[in-house]
Amino acid sequence: MILPHIQIARAHWLLGALFLAIVLEAYLPILRPDGRPEESRSVVIPWMLMIGGVGVWATTVFADVVHDMLIHTLWGDILFAAGALVLARRRGAYERPWLDWVLPLAFLGCGALFLVHVEIDPGGQGAHWHLAIGLLLLAAGLLELARLRWRQASAIPLGLAPLAAVALALIAIPVAAAS
């Protein structure tokens, strides 16, 4: 499916804005008067992840080239599984300590897949942007893993910075391309 550039630009803008909204809601907690972050049982994030996974699987089905199908399959699996596990935890249906690692590993997986995509098609459209997004997602995953590993308590997780950068990149890509 080949779309006109303005449609591609619109899709990236809106996708970036949605991702930014999700990232900021997920990683900017509300602080109580005593300075401690308030609990969040929001199910918006996991539902967004699962719907995102379904959307990526849709790209798998409608993809034109076989390697696109295979990479988007993995992407979709990571997003859907991460969303289902986080949803189950937030709804109180399933609780395990290792669930802390789900989102960071999901970021790492998605970031790695972006790099694989660039490796398969290095001359493709927007390859350098995909490389940047892949590296940022890897950075977000590593920072979140580090936060979990060393039990750093901070109101604002470091992983927010690269994730917000991914969202802003999605918004900026077509603007830069059109400039």
Q: Which of residues 10-49 bind another protein (CB under 8 A)?
A: 10-18, 20-21, 24-25, 28-31, 33-44, 47-48
Query: Smallest gap, in angstroms, from Cβ of residue 108 to another protein?
Result: 16
Q: How far is CA 1 from CA 51, 62, 130, in A?
A: 21, 8, 19
Cα separation, 25 vs 21, whole angstroms = 6
> Is the backbone of residue 151 left (phi > 0), alpha (psi -120 to 50) or beta?
left
Query: Smallest gap, in angstroms, from Cβ of residue 64 to another protein?
Result: 5
Query: Which of 28, 25, 87 has the alpha carbon at shortest distance from 53?
Result: 87
Part of the chain binding another protein (CB under 8 A), chosen from 70-78, 105-113, 132-140: 70-78
Q: Does 128 bind another protein (CB under 8 A)?
A: no
Part of the chain binding another protein (CB under 8 A), chosen from 105-113, 134-142, 170-178: 170-178
Judge contact between 102 and 82, C-beta under 8 A. Answer: yes
Judge contact between 103 and 144, C-beta under 8 A. Answer: yes
Cα separation, 143 vs 141, whole angstroms = 6
Query: Smallest gap, in angstroms, from Cβ of residue 134 to another protein?
Result: 13
Q: Does 152 bind another protein (CB under 8 A)?
A: yes
Judge contact between 11 and 174, C-beta under 8 A. Answer: no
Q: Does 171 bind another protein (CB under 8 A)?
A: yes
Q: Which of 105, 131, 142, 147 binds another protein (CB under 8 A)?
A: 147
Query: Smallest gap, in angstroms, from Cβ of residue 171 to another protein?
Result: 5
Q: Does 158 bind another protein (CB under 8 A)?
A: no
Q: Does 116 bind another protein (CB under 8 A)?
A: no
Q: Does 146 bind another protein (CB under 8 A)?
A: no
Hey, which residues between 73 and 102 contact another protein (CB under 8 A)?
Answer: 73, 80, 84, 87-97, 99-100
Handedness of CA 158, 131, 74, 9 (dihedral sign): positive
